[in-house]
Structure 1
Amino acid sequence: MSHVRIWVHIVFATKDREPLLNNAFRYDVFKHIAENCIAKDIFLQAINGYTDHIHCLISLGKDQSIAKIVQLIKGESSFWINQQKLTPQKFAWQDDYFAVSISESQLSQVSTYIKNQEKHHVTRSFAQEANLFMKRYGWEL
């Protein structure tokens, strides 16, 4: 039996970072994504976000890739949002995403960070947060 535990923090934004995930249905979207992850054998430890982006903390399975997980989450959730007519225009996610590995010792800290997104974004926009991610992980701006 194979044993795999690879934690990944994934962040993705709405197309053009439009603030479409309003409070009226944002939590329904998170709940739907969580249910979809269960159905697709994706281990989702934490999910939350704000009006223009989502954070997911997942553990990859032995046959899963980050690209496939992100494709499944983004593709199915945008289909569902459009099917439910939750936004006035067609909903889409941005093509790009952030994904970084997380050590076991950081799980609690990252989970708390994800759970506190509303409080966090009172003082910092997603653009500012994205720039910090870019600098922290050595990606070009």
Structure 2
Amino acid sequence: MSTSLRKASHSVFSIHLHVIFVTKYRRQVLTKEMIKDAKKVFQRILESNYSILSNCEGEADHLHLLIDLHPNNNISNLVSSLKSASSRILRKKYPQEIAQHYWGKNAKLWHDSKCIISCGGAPLEVIKQYIDNQSGGKES
């Protein structure tokens, strides 16, 4: 993973965020397939916002994302988009699996809170290694 600077029309930047999403009530709902599908959603949304999903792994009750952020983004709005889109798509694709843990057609998958950590203090390789060591969800 490179820590080199990225360039935009009027800026040079290197902004890396470690974002953690936790499932509502810390339910053990995420499978490996759900995590793979969530990654695709995250990549699509981040690319449309000129940002990069550098890494994404997790377990049955949470996901870690390492994001190379473009400075034109409002972090809170971007994170809200990631959570709402992934929840909507996963609930649509895996209704029976999610219904085992949550009820109601508009049940939230993610807890309302979020953890966002600037990655300036630790080397990115250490954070990447930490995320890579996440187990990848429960068995399907």
Moved over 6 A (4+): none
Q: Give the match for residue 46 of structure 1.
A: 55
TM-score, scaled to structure 2: 0.74
C-alpha offsets along residues 32-65 of structure 1, whole Å, 9 cap, x if unaligned?
A: 3223322343321111110000101112212112
Q: Give the match for residue 115 of structure 1.
A: 132
Which blocks of at least 5 consecutive residues in structure 2 are unaligned?
Answer: 1-9
Please tell me whether the aligned partners of residues 56 and 64 of structure 2 are also in contact (alpha carbons under 8 angstroms). yes
Distance 1:108 1:68 in 2: 27
Please tell me whether the aligned partners of residues 17 and 53 of structure 1 are also in contact (alpha carbons under 8 angstroms). yes
Q: Give the match for residue 136 of structure 1.
A: none
Percent identity of the aligned residues? 26
C-alpha offsets along residues 77-125 of structure 1, whole Å, 9 cap, x if unaligned?
A: 0011112134224452001011111128611110111111018x9xxxx
More RCO (CA 8 Å, sep 6+): 2
Code of the aligned partner of 1:34: Q
Distance 1:60 1:117 in 2: 22
Q: Give the match for residue 135 of structure 1.
A: none
Change (3 A) 1:105 1:25: closer
1:92 matches 2:112: no
Distance 1:99 1:25 in 2: 22
Distance 1:15 1:79 in 2: 14
1:106 counterpart (112, 120, 123):
123
Change (3 A) 1:105 1:24: closer
Corresponding residue SS for 1:58:
strand
Please tell me whether the aligned partners of residues 22 and 62 of structure 2 are also in contact (alpha carbons under 8 angstroms). yes
Which blocks of at least 5 consecutive residues in structure 1 are unaligned?
Answer: 122-141
Superposed CA RMSD = 2.2
Please tell me whether the aligned partners of residues 37 and 90 of structure 2 are also in contact (alpha carbons under 8 angstroms). no
